Each structure stands twice: as C-alpha cells, then as structure tokens.
C-alpha cells in the first residue's frame, strides 16, 4: 500500500478533496501509522503557519489607520470618478470600441489649494524682499553712514534691528545677503538632509517616488502617505514668514528651516515640532549648510512614544502578561537569568509560540531592559520542563539544534539581532534587540 503524499494530506486539511477521495485518504490514515503521523504533522504545520502569518497584519495604529483610510478613500473616489466620466461601469464597458475610447478618459487634473507651495512662494517672495531691503540698507550705509537706514516695513524693521544692534556694517550686510540667499539653499539643503527616507520627499517636487508607478492620471489625486505628509508639515510649518524670520535672526541659528521629521511621526507630532524651531540647533556654520538645522530629538521621541501608546491601545491584548520576579522564577523552575549590570524594566510571562525558536508548548519568561535607548529582550524557557509535555517534541528538537555551550547569533534582514543559547542549567535563552551583533554578544556574556 503506497503512502498518501503531503499534497493530498494538505488537500484533505484544506477541504479540497472530493467525497470519495476524503473517504479513501481517511481510511488509509486510519490504517497506516506513518501517514497518520505525517497527517498530524501537516495539521501542525498548517495551524502554525497560519498563526505565523497572522503576525504580519498591517499595522492598525490609530493615526496611520486614519491616514491610510484617507488614502483608500481617495483611490476609491478616483475609481468612481472614472466611472462617472464614462457614464458607465468599466465592468460592463464594451471591449470592441475605437482605440481612442478604449481607455477611460483621464480625469482632469484638479487644481487643489496647496498650502505647501503657497508657503514656499511666500518665503521666496519674503526672502527676495528682505534681500532687496538689505541691499538698500547696505547702500544707505555706504552712502550715508550706519545710522540712517530707512526700513519701510515691519519685516524690514526686524532686519534693520539686527543691523543696528550689530553695528558692523559689512558683516551685517553679508548676513542679510545670507538671508536673501536662503530659498535656493533651502531646497538644496532639504535634499541633502539627514532625515529618514520619508522626510526626504520635498514638498515642492510633486509626488513621492512610488507614485511614478501609476501610469494613468490617477496619480495626481493621491494623498501622500502619513509619513510623508507629516514630513511635509514639519517642513511647511516654519515657512510662515514671521517664524522664518525669527529663526533666521535668532542668535546661533543661521537658518530658518527645520529639516527633520521622523518617518513615523504623525501629523500632530510634526505640528508639535514646529514651535521647536526657535530651539533648533545648527548642523554646521557658514555656507549653504548653515540653513540646515535639526530639530532636537525629544519631540520625535515623544511623538513615536505617543504613537506606540496609541498602537498599544488599538492592539488587542497580547499574550504576554506582566509578572513579578517570583512568578518568573517559579515558571522557570526556581531560577532566572538576568543581564548583569542592567536594570530590569519589566518582567513578563507569555506563551512560547510568541517567540521564535522557543518551544510553543511551554511558557517563556521575558525580561525587558533598555540599553542605550534601545529595548533589549531576554527571553528564557526551561527546556527540561517542557520536554515532558505532550508537544515536547519541538523542545527536544530545539535542544538538538542548540548544543549546550553553543551560542547562535543572528541578525534578521531588518536589523533585529538575536543571540540564542542553552545554558547548563537547562534554560533556553534568547537575547534580542535592535543592536549590532558584537554588542549583543557582549551582553549575552553578561547574562548570569
């Protein structure tokens, strides 16, 4: 009697066999221990792979969800616009039509009010004006002396105030020229800014790079994804005339544009960043770089943290629960491993299925630390205890793969590093975090 292949076993599990085949395969499984074993294995792989894929749900964070909702609606609106334009559903549109009519007419580009470009236009006009006035001041100084500068507008009065307070004719003139020279330098600076990829999308340059894929007139209707929108807000905010001038004239700050906004920063975070411009610190003094400033880190961290909080609120409860050290020690059979010299942030207990490499049937104790601002997870599980459990086969396999005294160091493609080892006390340990392999290894050696 030949065995049932894995494909048919999976087809049975997926409900893809017809009634006759189901009866045949089931009868065989009942009579053949080998196929029964493989059937159980196939069941386990099916359940576990579905569980694993479940971990890859698109982030349902509160703010991004709202933003993506907007993006989604836009796509739908665009699709419906086309329908309206053709006065018929594309699904029932006749195929044999003249070539010119085969494609639905592109929706006319909408002229939407774009505050970003308006703000940039404003700053350019303002900068030209200030430059002109500065030139006038210089001219006046050259011809009439330092005390006779005439400044007709409020904006120019600020410039003049600076001129007067500095009392150095030539130096202030050069400074005023720097202000006038800002707009071109600003756009160059933004391109070279150190921000994350999303922050690099210059608002004045139209669509983000991915939009190039869209081959129809749909592209112009798309909203920017949340990260980019936030970046634009951050860039746009200081473009308000008074703020730009304030920043330009603030001591120590040579330019007025804050070119920082982390990709995940939500719009509110970006708005919070705006008032930080006055505290912006220069990246470099002098030259075109001098207009590039970086907003201090704190607001980003706050924004990211708020977002994490929102995500935590939105996420259904995770299987890890906070535990006391005593509970953790009890779970591990009377012992626990800790990273020597680091302060414990929290202790939790959760099911092994949540941790790669751990035995799914057992409990895992997770001790969380923060090292150099990055979270570090020390997961541990008693291997001996679960080896006797019904599904202990996997624990045994884990123990086989990891010989006592071995450490497996891995760095996932996305930078998540992990060191795993079995210690001589019968514990399976995993130390992980977004830290380089060397650091991880050094920290692993401090686990006692």
The residues in 282-301 that bind other proteins, with binding defined as CB under 8 A, are: 300-301
Query: Residue 375 has what DSSP assignment?
Result: E
Cβ closest to other proteins, residue 142 vs residue 308: 308
Q: Which stretch binds other proteins (CB under 8 A): 122-130, 235-243, 280-288, 371-379?
A: 371-379
Site residues for other proteins, 420-439, by CB under 8 A, read 421, 432, 434-435
Q: How far is the CB of 384 from other proteins (least distance, A)?
A: 18
Cα separation, 221 vs 112, in Å, equals: 10
Strand order through the sheet with 374-382: 321-322, 344-351, 363-371, 374-382, 427-433, 417-422
Helices (H), 55-98: 62-86
Which of 435, 382, 392 lies closest to 412 in space, CA to CA? 435
Query: Residue 349 has what DSSP assignment?
Result: E
Does residue 398 touch other proteins according to CB under 8 A?
Answer: yes
Q: How far is the CB of 296 from other proteins (least distance, A)?
A: 13
Cα separation, 242 vs 277, in Å, equals: 12
Q: How far is the CB of 24 from other proteins (least distance, A)?
A: 15
Member of 99, 388, 390, 405 binding other proteins (CB under 8 A):
405
Cα separation, 207 vs 223, in Å, equals: 9
Member of 192, 197, 287, 341 binding other proteins (CB under 8 A):
197
Tokens representing 167 are 């009392």
Does residue 5 touch other proteins according to CB under 8 A?
Answer: yes
Cβ closest to other proteins, residue 278 vs residue 312: 312
CB-CB contact of 86 with 104 (8 Å): yes
Cβ closest to other proteins, residue 182 vs residue 380: 380
Cβ closest to other proteins, residue 83 vs residue 164: 83
Site residues for other proteins, 42-81, by CB under 8 A, read 42, 44-46, 48-50, 52-53, 55-59, 64, 68, 71-72, 75-76, 79-80
Site residues for other proteins, 215-254, by CB under 8 A, read 215-216, 218, 222, 225-227
# residues near other proteins by CB under 8 A? 106
Residue carrying structure tokens 């329908």: 83
What does the radius of gyration of the chain's CA atoms come to, in whole angstroms? 32
Cβ closest to other proteins, residue 278 vs residue 281: 281
Q: Which stretch binds other proteins (CB under 8 A): 23-31, 123-131, 275-283, 397-405?
A: 397-405
Cα separation, 425 vs 141, in Å, equals: 83
Return the bridge partners of 376, or none.
369, 433
N residues, the chain = 448
Cα separation, 301 vs 416, in Å, equals: 20
Cα separation, 91 vs 164, in Å, equals: 72
Q: Is 252 left (phi over 0), alpha (psi -120 to 50) or beta?
A: left
Site residues for other proteins, 86-125, by CB under 8 A, read 89-91, 93, 103-104
Site residues for other proteins, 300-339, by CB under 8 A, read 300-302, 304-305, 308-309, 311-312, 315, 318, 320
Does residue 392 touch other proteins according to CB under 8 A?
Answer: no
CB-CB contact of 355 with 416 (8 Å): no
Member of 172, 348, 380, 381 binding other proteins (CB under 8 A):
348
């Amino acid at each position: 009697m030949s065995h049932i292949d894995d494909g048919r076993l999976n087809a049975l599990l997926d409900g893809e066999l017809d009634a006759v085949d189901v009866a045949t395969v089931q009868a065989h499984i009942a009579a053949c221990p080998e196929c029964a074993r493989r059937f159980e294995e196939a069941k386990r792989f099916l359940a576990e792979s579905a569980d694993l894929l479940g971990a890859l749900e698109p982030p349902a964070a509160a703010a991004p969800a709202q933003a993506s909702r907007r993006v989604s609606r836009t796509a739908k609106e665009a699709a419906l616009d086309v329908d309206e334009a053709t006065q018929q559903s594309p699904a029932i549109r006749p195929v044999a039509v003249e070539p010119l009519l085969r494609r639905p007419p592109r929706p006319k580009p909408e002229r939407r009010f774009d505050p970003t470009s308006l703000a940039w236009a404003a700053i350019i006009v303002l900068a030209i004006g200030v430059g002109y006035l500065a030139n006038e001041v210089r001219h006046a100084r050259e011809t009439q002396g330092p005390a006779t500068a005439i400044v007709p507008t409020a904006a120019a009065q600020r410039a003049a105030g600076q001129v007067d307070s500095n009392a150095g004719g030539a130096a202030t003139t050069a400074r005023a020229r720097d202000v006038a020279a800002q707009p071109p330098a600003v756009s160059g600076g933004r391109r070279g800014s150190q921000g994350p990829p999303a922050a690099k999308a210059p608002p004045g340059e139209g669509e983000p790079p991915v939009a190039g894929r869209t081959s129809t007139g749909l592209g112009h209707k798309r909203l920017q994804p949340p990260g980019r929108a936030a970046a634009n807000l951050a860039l746009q905010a200081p473009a308000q005339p008074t703020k730009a001038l304030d920043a330009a004239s603030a001591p120590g700050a040579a330019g007025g544009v804050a070119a920082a906004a982390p990709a995940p920063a939500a719009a509110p975070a970006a708005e919070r960043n705006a008032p930080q411009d006055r505290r912006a610190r220069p990246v470099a003094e002098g030259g075109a770089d001098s207009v590039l400033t970086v907003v201090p880190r704190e607001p980003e961290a706050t924004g990211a943290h708020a977002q994490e909080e929102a995500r935590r609120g939105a996420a259904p409860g995770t299987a890890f629960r906070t535990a006391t050290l005593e509970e953790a020690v009890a779970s591990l059979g009377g012992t626990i491993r800790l990273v020597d010299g680091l302060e414990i942030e929290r202790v939790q207990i959760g099911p092994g299925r949540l941790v790669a490499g751990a035995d799914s049937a057992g409990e895992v104790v997770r001790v969380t630390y923060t090292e150099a601002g990055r979270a570090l997870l020390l997961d541990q599980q008693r291997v001996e205890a679960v080896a006797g459990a019904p599904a202990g086969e996997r624990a045994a396999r884990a123990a086989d793969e990891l010989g006592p005294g071995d450490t497996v160091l891995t760095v996932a493609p996305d930078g998540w590093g992990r060191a795993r080892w079995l210690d001589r006390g019968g514990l399976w340990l995993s130390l992980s975090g977004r830290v380089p392999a060397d650091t991880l290894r050094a920290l692993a050696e401090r686990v006692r």
